[in-house]
Structure 1
Amino acid sequence: MLNHVLFTVAALQARALAASCPSLTASYPAPSVASGYEAKLVAQGLTKPRGLTFDNKGNLLVVERGVGVSAYTVSSSDSCVELKNKKTVVGDGALNHGIEISDDSKTLYASSIESVFKYEYDSGKITIKGTGEVIIDGMTTEGTVTRTLMLSRKSKNKLLVSRGGDENIDLSTVDINGGESQIRIFDPSKKDQKYTDGVTLGWGLRNAVGVAENPKDGGVWSAENNADNIERDGQEIHENNPAEELNYHGKLEDSKNPLLNRNYGYPLCYGAWDTEEIPSPGTLQIGQQFAIAEENATLQDSFCNTERQAPRLVFQPHTSPLDLKFDTKGENLYVTLHGSWNREDPVGYSVSVIKFNPDGQPTEGSTSTNALSPIIGNSNTTACPGNCFRPAGLAWDKSGRLYMSSDSTGEIYVIVKTGGKALDEAKSTSAAPSGISRMGSGIAVTVLACVFAYFL
């Protein structure tokens, strides 16, 4: 009798949860998800969603390219997440990627190809006051358009802004004073700053779209989208070289940071992935930098390895890393791989994780080709990029769930561990939206009523 009752309760709970948790269906094959993880589609119909962040009330803010900043309220339980009540927070079609928010959620930052804007934000009303102000400008380029923003949590009053270059191989970036293909540090309390006024954290970075700070030790990392269609000694080697890069920039709070103002190679030097494809590789190893000068490139390899900062890790070429997010303990770094457009066999189109040691460095060595462990990806990459999702932005909610935007399909996914458990277990679940308790209470009442009905 008791077993039968328990079975009935479990079935009723499952039905109640299913009924209270609407499911969205993608137009392409269901994603491939690694063992131990779950991924659920929670929003559709967005316009090229890119950067994501949460305010202190648990509202999800999204940059929609060509639209501005939109917001969703989040209703959730352990096994169900719903995004509701979408509204426009900032109506500015020039905004296209970067977004950040202060710890108290009173200040919102967003970027366009030209400027960084600051807005007075009210998380209770999910609104801004006024039209905002420009705090940084002078960033327009003819090539890359994204300006990633990262507000340091370890070193207060420092805003990092990443800016790419004008061309695929922009030779003008050999001059540090130009301000292109760099990450610079700014004081966000100031306004009317030119990009070239910022302190140079790193340069020689073709397009470091992903930027993150390790919450454990304050180490700053960037993910670089490397050049296409490169040649060496007149030979085309672009299919499997150069590698995408994960670069380390030291700690912002370290006044003697030896990596401050370091050059990471571009446009003269590039990380190697497939050394057998590179003409005259000599002793070149995976992860080391090589030159692509038109004449005697091999003779310049020594310059690349002694005068330029090598990547800490390398990824398969053309995977296009776009965002980086650490978990609370700094043990895992999650990466969105937007995917290839210039490769015969599509690669990327996934979210992967990189394991980190307690010393704040990746567990894998710099010559590894296995640093990335896929979590969620397209089950049929041969249909990409036309008929698949393309991961772009990432954000954590207070319950340790990871949200991912797909700009190509106008969607948002949420990623958790099996059973709806937090991906970042160190994050508190006590601050979950109030909708949880109401949903849970309703299910409990329904189940108890049915149990009593059974005995009667």
Structure 2
Amino acid sequence: MKSNCRVRAASAALLYAAGAVAQDSCSNVLKPSYSSPVVGSGWIAQLVATGLTDPRGIIFDSNGSLLVVQEKNGIQRLTFNDNGTTCLSVRDSTTIVKDSELNHGIAFSNDGRTLFASTSENVYAWDYDSSSGTISGEQRTVVQNMGGTGHVSRTLLMTSNNKLLVSKGSGENIDERATEQSTGVSQIRAFDMERLPSTPYDYASTGTRLGWGLRNSVGIAEEPKTGGIFSVENSVDQIKRDGTDIHQDNPGEEMNFHGFLNGSTENQGGNYGYPDCYALWDTNIPDVGQMVVGSQFPQNQSDSLNDTTCNEDRVSPRLTWQAHTAPLDIKFHPDGSEAYVSFHGSWNRENPTGYMLASVAFSNGQPVESATSTTSLRNILSNPDNSKCPDECFRPVSLALDSQNRLFMSSDTTGEIYVLAKAEMSATGGSDPSASGTLVSPSATGSGNAGGYGGALAARRYTGNGGGWGLAVTLVACLMTGFGFWLGLPTA
């Protein structure tokens, strides 16, 4: 008891001191113009950049600067004053590419020397110097002929073996061109970037097709341990089932698995259903039969297209989520234990849903939850009242992890960047799963979710109260438990 109490008291004192320093160094914390977000258990969050123009794709260069695609504007480079954990502030903001056609996609070559970004039509490449944060040489087109209307984001992902993945969505809600592989519509394709091509790749006819029948898979990620490729898909709006309107809660949004690009071609290149078949979320639809969450179904059944053919001939999602939540990005923790997913939020639903950042537990390269799960998401950052969305809330778009595994998130409609960090481990070597998260706010009082993160962390670990109370109550507890602690006498 004596040694344990000493450890707890010393740890509480150190955490309180760290909290005081952190609060002082974070005196210029930004405050959102809307109701403060709710932070999930075990996380600390802070708003670190505002005033951006529709920030979409974000990525860190090899020097630790954050590059941000501002839709219809160009690419902005942000550097930060960094006082640890989430205590960051923008030190410098410069435009490195000015182009009104850029809208979302951004990636780096694995050596960090080539920057890629996309318009709805082309993927471009530039030589990049991370030390100065500048591009040089001519702009080169590496993938072309992706044009179209409707979903114009062309998400980019550079894999560990130098394959540039490019996702192209549909041109409209239900795009019949997606039924033909040759069109390149609603597909994810991979292009070899070991060397930049002398002639640009044609999107629809070259490269490797990882999947088709994918309405709008804006988020793509490579699982770090196995190399498996996953995407998150936005499904259709205004859907009916044999003439009955079921669009409020169907079809579900999808996490799809696309096999590997590191040797095996297993599970690669399949048809994921769109525009004929969709993933079931709410099973309360006409003639559901034996279908479960994640089963595939058509809008209208016929001899050639029905529930049976959809489930036998199409690739079902690995996970299914609430309809219209609009997942836009997915990033993996480097140890492969979880994936982070941003949900932009609904427009096609009476009660808004989404508008959050969440995590999905992974093990051995796959989600821990089964394909029929309705509870695979764990909240990290959310809006307190979705009924105020989209006008008075943040809307997550893209995610990026820095060298310290802090998670950054862009919010396009509010022009913001958030940073999130996991709470430190407790003195006993474990985390406190019951603790609520902390939003660092300008009123750094050291108590509650709006307080400074140092004092709040100390309190969460030791007392459940805020700031200096964490230290005080710990010391009192030690005194009450054994007065001999301070006298050096034996204790039970």
State the TM-score bracket (shorter-chain normalisation): 0.7 to 0.9
Q: Is the 8 A contact 2:331 2:339 kept in 1?
A: yes
Q: Is the 8 A contact 2:110 2:162 kept in 1?
A: no
Name the counterpart of 1:71: 77
In 1, Cα distance between the equivalents of 2:21 and 2:342? 34
SS in 2 for 1:177: helix
SS in 1 for 2:308: helix
Name the counterpart of 1:238: 247
Equivalent positions of 1:143-222 (< 5 A) are: 143-153=150-160, 156-188=161-193, 189-190=196-197, 191-196=199-204, 197-222=206-231
In 1, Cα distance between the equivalents of 2:376 and 2:334? 20
Instruction: For structure 2, list consecutive stretches of 5 or more residues without a partner in the other structure.
Output: 1-10, 432-492
**Number of residue pairs matched?**
413
Aligned partner letter, 2:177 = S
In 2, Cα distance between the equivalents of 1:226 and 1:34? 27
Q: Deviations over 1:311-336 (max 9, x none)?
A: 01000000000000000111100000
Inter-CA distance 78–202: structure 2 relative to 1 (3 Å threshold)? same
The two structures have a TM-score, normalised by structure 1, of 0.87
Q: How far is the alpha carbon of 1:202 from its aligned partner?
A: 0.3
| Residue 43 of structure 2 corresponds to residue 43 of structure 1 | no
Name the counterpart of 1:110: 117
| Residue 418 of structure 2 corresponds to residue 413 of structure 1 | yes
Q: Percent identity?
A: 46
Instruction: For structure 1, list consecutive stretches of 5 or more residues without a partner in the other structure.
Output: 1-5, 426-456
Aligned partner letter, 1:223 = V
Inter-CA distance 420–52: structure 2 relative to 1 (3 Å threshold)? farther
Q: How far is the alpha carbon of 1:141 from its aligned partner?
A: 1.5
Aligned partner letter, 2:224 = P
In 2, Cα distance between the equivalents of 1:332 and 1:347? 22
In 1, Cα distance between the equivalents of 2:14 and 2:219? 46
Inter-CA distance 234–123: structure 2 relative to 1 (3 Å threshold)? same
Name the counterpart of 1:439: none
Q: Is the 8 A contact 2:22 2:83 kept in 1?
A: no
Name the counterpart of 2:471: none
From the CA coordinates, give the structure whose radius of gyration is larger. 2
Q: Deviations over 1:213-244 (max 9, x none)?
A: 00100000000000000111111110010000
Q: Is the 8 A contact 2:56 2:68 kept in 1?
A: yes
Q: How far is the alpha carbon of 1:11 from its aligned partner?
A: 7.4
Q: Is the 8 A contact 2:43 2:420 kept in 1?
A: yes
Q: Is the 8 A contact 1:291 1:297 kept in 2?
A: no
Q: How far is the alpha carbon of 1:10 from its aligned partner?
A: 8.0
Name the counterpart of 2:490: none
Q: How far is the alpha carbon of 1:73 from its aligned partner?
A: 1.1
Inter-CA distance 297–374: structure 2 relative to 1 (3 Å threshold)? farther
Name the counterpart of 1:451: none
Q: Is the 8 A contact 2:25 2:83 kept in 1?
A: no
Q: Is the 8 A contact 1:143 1:166 kept in 2?
A: yes
Range 382-391 or range 183-192, more displaced: 183-192
In 2, Cα distance between the equivalents of 1:353 and 1:13? 28
Name the counterpart of 1:401: 406
Q: How far is the alpha carbon of 1:14 from its aligned partner?
A: 4.8
Q: Deviations over 1:61-86 (max 9, x none)?
A: 11111111111112213341222200
Range 73-82 or range 54-63, more displaced: 73-82
SS in 2 for 1:173: helix
Q: Is the 8 A contact 2:126 2:138 kept in 1?
A: yes
Name the counterpart of 1:271: 279
Q: Deviations over 1:234-262 (max 9, x none)?
A: 1111001000000001111124x222220
Q: Is the 8 A contact 1:350 1:375 kept in 2?
A: yes
Aligned partner letter, 1:259 = N
In 1, Cα distance between the equivalents of 2:162 and 2:219? 20
1:122 to 124, 129, 146: 129
Q: Is the 8 A contact 2:212 2:269 kept in 1?
A: yes
Q: Is the 8 A contact 2:72 2:100 kept in 1?
A: yes
| Residue 257 of structure 2 corresponds to residue 248 of structure 1 | yes
Q: Is the 8 A contact 2:260 2:266 kept in 1?
A: no
Name the counterpart of 1:33: 39
The one of the two structures with greater contact order (alpha-carbon pairs below 8 A, sep at least 6) is 2
2:23 to 12, 18, 23: 18
For the aligned residues, what is the CA RMSD? 2.2
Name the counterpart of 1:445: none
